[in-house]
Structure 1
Amino acid sequence: MSEEELQLPAECWELVFKFLNPIPHFEPLSLVSTQFLSITNLLRTSLTISNPTLPFLPNLFRRFSSITSLHITRLHHSHLHTLLLQLSRAALPLQSLNLSGQPSLPSNGLRAFARKIPTLKSLICSHMTCLRNADLLLIADCFSFLEHLDLSFPENNDNSTDPVSDFGVKALSLALPKLRSVNLSGNYFISDTSILSLCKNCERLGEIIILECHFITQRGIASAIHERPCLRSFCVNNFGYGTKKGDIARPYVTSDFISALVGLKGLTCLDLSCSSISDELLCCVAEEGIPLKKLVLQGCCNYTYVGVLCLLSSCQSMEHLDLQNTEFLCDRRVEVLCEFLGNLVTINVSGCRTLTDLALFALIKNCPLLNEIKMEATDVGKKGMDEELVNGVVNYRVKSLYLGRNSWLRDESLEMIASVCPSLEVLDLSSCCDISEGVVEVLRRCSEVRNLSLAFCSGVKLKGLEFEVPKLVELNLSGSRVDDETLSVISKCCRWLLHLDLENCYKVTANGVREVVDKCRRLREINLVSCCEVEASVVAWMVFSRPSLRRIMAPPSFDLSGGQREFLLRHGCIVSL
């Protein structure tokens, strides 16, 4: 096709390209013409930077001038300092910076970055090796326009001489007047004072996440949220454990906490994971007409079906519901709850051991907007679906289905599920050991599947696959018993794969790997960890034979010494063991 035939206005092509998701689809488009290259360069707004990327950054910044979001993976402290200096000279319209997993924050580099980009709106510093009060003061000094801040789960809590404490959080609260959401999860030394400072001083604060903060009490939470009644999202866990007078064993939720919670008239998200709650709390939320759209009660105790029914029957705007590991749920109760879940988009009932196919079918049938279902480690497959009951029922909205660790699941049930959810895009069947050829029928009926996990499915058989699966881009076969013959089938029918996981596939050899790499011309990542029958020589062959490969997890026979890793990296592929 000549460029003359493609001369539509750039704005038209831009609208077309925005429908393509995810970003890797831009790569082949950028090769079509100089116009397409220019448009796709401008459409890319996020970039992940790792050690192998560093030498190419000047070219990348010139090419992708519309980058607003950067994720910097773990770098050496000095490399991060240099990178921040480089970013300060790049003139990118950055709004979000993710530094998660870094060893520490380089103060000089961050100050130089902040002088050029003072209006940064989002900063993520989760899982830092070292995070101290001094770092919070640095952030407060550098980024006064921050709206979103994540300081969750630093790794130095137990041995730091200056761990994050109430002093640092108070300084942040005074310096960040525009702050809208904050995540302080896993900062063990903060107390009620921290959350009170945030709620008093940050007038725009709408979201607080304080998971695993053990010194924060119900009394402190109640006092804090009284100061900020406009909160829209509140996440806390492991609270409510204590004793009432005269009742040594019974955990409790205080009336002060309930009173404060129901005072949040605009609350749309409530996460109380792994807490001791009560029916009284749930019923009070229902009575006040709180407009909840997301409710997470994963692992909670001391409440019953009565409380859940009361809340859901009154709050029928619920879109996201997590009742993972709820002991009292059964098929019949799920059927009743479905009457009030007409707006539900996602649900997680994994670990609810008594739920079977009947509960799954009730959700599919009665929740017309449902997009994602998680029912891992349940009894799906135990009762089967009656064909007369299923006849005529189809839900085209369900796109993601997670059914891992369902030991009762067989091919018959799986095929029935596929017939009522024909638009599936994500299907996780990990550790469903008794499924075999049914997966082929699922792929036949669900032509939109793009992500399929068959990890540890020891009985799965794909050799009957005789048709193309053009949408499948991610396939996880780790721990299964697939062999070279299966890989041959995959190479012919799944030629558009981007990611293939073969970890612990002990029957796979270099011959099968060569065939799948040769035929799958878009392959970007392959995992061969613990594939003991795959020779080391296949790694170099893959790098030179398949230019699209960006990451190889090598088989155990491969030796990374002698500069091989750097040599292969120069050819654009990261190789690791």
Structure 2
Amino acid sequence: MADQWEYLPEECWESVFVRLGHNRYLEAPSLVCKRFHSISNRLRSSLTVSDPTVLLHGGISGLIRRFQQLKRIDFVEFHGDADMLLREIGRSGLNLEVLNLSKQRRLPVQGMMELGAKVKTLRILICSRLCFLQDSDLIAIADSFPSLTELDISYPEQDSGSLTKIGSTEDDCAVSGSFPGTVSDVGIAMLSSKLQRLCRIDVSGNHFISDRSLLSLSSKCDFLREIAARDCSLISEIGIALAIRHNPHLISLSVNGSKIPSSASSSSSFTIESSLICARALCTLDFSQMIISDDLLTSIIQADLPLLKLALSHCRGFTFAGISSLLCKYCSLNYLDIEGAAFLTDQSMLELSQYLHDLNFINLNSCSNLSNSAFFLLAKTCPYLEEIRMERTGIGKEDCPSDFKKNFQLQNLKLSWNKYLSDETLQRIAMVCPNLRSLDISHCWGITGEGIGHIGMNCCEINMLRVNGCGGLSNLGMNFGFSKLEVLYASESGIDNEGLRMISQSCRRLLCLNLEGCLGVTAKGVREVVANSKGLKEISLKKCCNVASDVIAWMVFSRPSLRKLIPPSEFVSTEKQREFFLRHGCWVLDG
């Protein structure tokens, strides 16, 4: 039998490994033999580069030689010489398609230009939350990667108050369209003229771009189909209207918080209402945090869009009658976000439910008048629903309905900050959602081990659980469920040593454990869970003041799988200690 397995073609083994799913599941088979190691290396298509990653492997060159089929590289928590790494990637011959440079201090322009000269396959560039971003960086991006189809330059973090020229006011800059030291309309215009193949762009959080930028993008980029421009202070209704009119093939538009006057008070002929009739392909509309009138909802209805995704999170001005009419028209929606719609009640949800049959996602956060009836109604009447968000609502305030129906599609529930949520309600939820994979009940103070135990017993597929701030929760129940749990966030919960002992016995697949601020945890409990969780990769003991610091070294040496450890705040490591731990494969941060 052994010989038969040995001579299986590598294509068969590749098929087996592919079915394992995430890259982390390839680690174990890669240790079996050289052949499996070689196969798993070929299958890896993405790599996250951090400071410890580079230090552990003696530079990125070794990683590139090992994983020769990489298509995506993410620079996360990397604070070293990004220019040097990009040059190495450029010399590697990789057919890279996605590069994520987010959270860097500055854009590594020199390395990026050298990479662009040698790698012609890059299509997606993510530069979100850079500490500093300006127009010249946009030009460098366009010159380095002229074939980009997707670009994310959202939410740069520079202080706008210190970036205007001396002697120039913000109003002066707004008139000229140029803001020194920031991304401005001038930079977006030059970017638009150079990136002819651009299909998607996210410029959210760039406070010095205006309607001119939306006009440049929509008129110059013929293939542009998706625009995200959230939290852009100078974008108005006119800019949104012009973007719609100049690009009738736009399929996704996401804007929020812009200065949108009502149609009655607007003197301009360029209004969203009058422009929607030009839209032919809009599938996604996100108008979150705006003042949205029923007239605008009527215009969306009259436009007869192929609408599948609608987000009106924290919008004001529209009524139940307006949203009811819209949902009646677009009853094939699969994504609905109406967070903060205070007028919604259990009875109104009963009326809307007849239009929600095709939904697979709904966000009802902060709809405080909704309770158990609304939740179980959605589970019963929406057979394709995969995720429900009902944080800060009235779930648990009333008895559960007796006529419930199991929903085998529901996989993700976000129910945090529901002060009325009880063990009894959680037990019924466990019965209704047997295929649940992710549950967030953080800061639901009425939950105990009895209630969460029903989740573990009935929801056998659950792999992520968030119980942060659940002070009444000392364990995950007495039934030893959660056999597939991989991620447990339990910061500032009531989890104690006995709870950890039970977790160590039942959650053998645990990969990530956050115990920050758990005062009932000591070194004894930590030792038990670390000893039994053979795949554990990350653990946080920050603010666990009753955990003795001498357990840190034991954890690093006794659990080879451990990659990231946040010790108690009292633990202060020296540079030599950190390097020593890192050589054993674990990044020990400051608590």
CA deviation profile, 1:137-163 (whole Å, cap 9, x unmatched): 111111100000000111115133421
Q: In structure 1, what is the equivalent of residue 302 of structure 2?
A: 287
Q: In structure 2, what is the equivalent of residue 317 of structure 1?
A: 332
Mark the CA change 1:281 to 1:243 in structure 2 (over 3 Å): closer, same or farther.
closer
Matches within 5 A, 1:263-278: 263-278=278-293
Q: Which moved more, 1:486-495 or 1:200-209?
A: 486-495
CA deviation profile, 1:303-336 (whole Å, cap 9, x unmatched): 0111111111111221111111111111111122
Q: CA deviation at 1:418?
A: 0.7
Q: In structure 2, what is the equivalent of residue 469 of structure 1?
A: 482
SS in 2 for 1:327: coil
Residue pair 1:240, 1:253 contacting (<8 A) in 2 also: no
Q: In structure 2, what is the equivalent of residue 520 of structure 1?
A: 533
Residue pair 1:252, 1:276 contacting (<8 A) in 2 also: no
Q: Which moved more, 1:7-16 or 1:136-145?
A: 7-16
Q: 1:430 aligns with which of 422, 437, 442?
A: 442
Q: In structure 2, what is the equivalent of residue 143 of structure 1?
A: 145
Q: CA deviation at 1:4?
A: 4.1
For structure 1, the residue ranges without an aligned partner over 5 or more in a row are none
Identity over aligned pairs, percent = 41
In the alignment, is residue 163 of structure 1 matched against residue 182 of structure 2? yes
Residue pair 2:453, 2:481 contacting (<8 A) in 1 also: no
In the alignment, is residue 404 of structure 1 matched against residue 416 of structure 2? yes
SS in 1 for 2:227: strand
Query: Aligned partners of 1:335, 1:20: CA distance in 2, in Å?
Result: 41
SS in 2 for 1:235: strand
Q: Which moved more, 1:523-532 or 1:338-347?
A: 338-347
What is the one-letter code of the residue matched to 2:280?
K
Q: CA deviation at 1:76?
A: 3.7
Q: CA deviation at 1:119?
A: 3.2
Residue pair 1:243, 1:252 contacting (<8 A) in 2 also: no
Mark the CA change 1:52 to 1:129 in structure 2 (over 3 Å): closer, same or farther.
same
**TM-score, normalised on structure 1?**
0.95
What is the one-letter code of the residue matched to 2:426?
L
Q: In structure 2, what is the equivalent of residue 572 of structure 1?
A: 585
Mark the CA change 1:35 to 1:470 in structure 2 (over 3 Å): closer, same or farther.
farther
Q: In structure 2, what is the equivalent of residue 75 of structure 1?
A: 78
Query: Aligned partners of 1:351, 1:7: CA distance in 2, in Å?
Result: 59
What is the one-letter code of the residue matched to 2:116?
A
Q: Which moved more, 1:452-461 or 1:13-22?
A: 13-22
Query: Aligned partners of 2:287, 2:263: CA distance in 1, in Å?
Result: 20
Q: In structure 2, what is the equivalent of residue 31 of structure 1?
A: 31
Q: 1:127 aligns with which of 126, 129, 134?
A: 129
Q: In structure 2, what is the equivalent of residue 217 of structure 1?
A: 236
Q: In structure 2, what is the equivalent of residue 103 of structure 1?
A: 105
Q: In structure 1, what is the equivalent of residue 401 of structure 2?
A: 386
In the alignment, is residue 234 of structure 1 matched against residue 249 of structure 2? no
CA deviation profile, 1:515-553 (whole Å, cap 9, x unmatched): 110011110000100000111111111000000000001
Query: Aligned partners of 1:541, 1:261: CA distance in 2, in Å?
Result: 63
Q: Which moved more, 1:466-475 or 1:310-319?
A: 466-475
Query: Aligned partners of 1:552, 1:463: CA distance in 2, in Å?
Result: 23
Residue pair 2:335, 2:361 contacting (<8 A) in 1 also: yes
For structure 2, the residue ranges without an aligned partner over 5 or more in a row are 164-179
For these two proteins, the number of residue pairs brought into alignment is 569
Q: CA deviation at 1:35?
A: 3.4
Q: In structure 1, what is the equivalent of residue 348 of structure 2?
A: 333
Query: Aligned partners of 1:84, 1:130: CA distance in 2, in Å?
Result: 19
**TM-score, normalised on structure 2?**
0.93
Q: In structure 1, what is the equivalent of residue 427 of structure 2?
A: 415
Q: Which moved more, 1:280-289 or 1:367-376?
A: 280-289
Q: In structure 2, what is the equivalent of residue 441 of structure 1?
A: 454
What is the one-letter code of the residue matched to 2:406?
V
Query: Aligned partners of 1:555, 1:571: CA distance in 2, in Å?
Result: 20
CA deviation profile, 1:381-423 (whole Å, cap 9, x unmatched): 1112132x12xx1110000111111111111111011101111
Q: Which moved more, 1:8-17 or 1:364-373?
A: 8-17
Query: Aligned partners of 2:245, 2:262: CA distance in 1, in Å?
Result: 24
In the alignment, is residue 65 of structure 1 matched against residue 68 of structure 2? yes
Q: In structure 2, what is the equivalent of residue 546 of structure 1?
A: 559
CA deviation profile, 1:334-369 (whole Å, cap 9, x unmatched): 122221112111111010000001000111000010
RMSD over equivalenced CA pairs, Å: 1.8
Residue pair 2:475, 2:500 contacting (<8 A) in 1 also: no
SS in 2 for 1:431: coil
Q: In structure 1, what is the equivalent of residue 214 of structure 2?
A: 195
CA deviation profile, 1:65-114 (whole Å, cap 9, x unmatched): 1110110124346x111111111111111001000010112222111111
Query: Aligned partners of 1:343, 1:144: CA distance in 2, in Å?
Result: 39
Q: In structure 2, what is the equivalent of residue 349 of structure 1?
A: 364
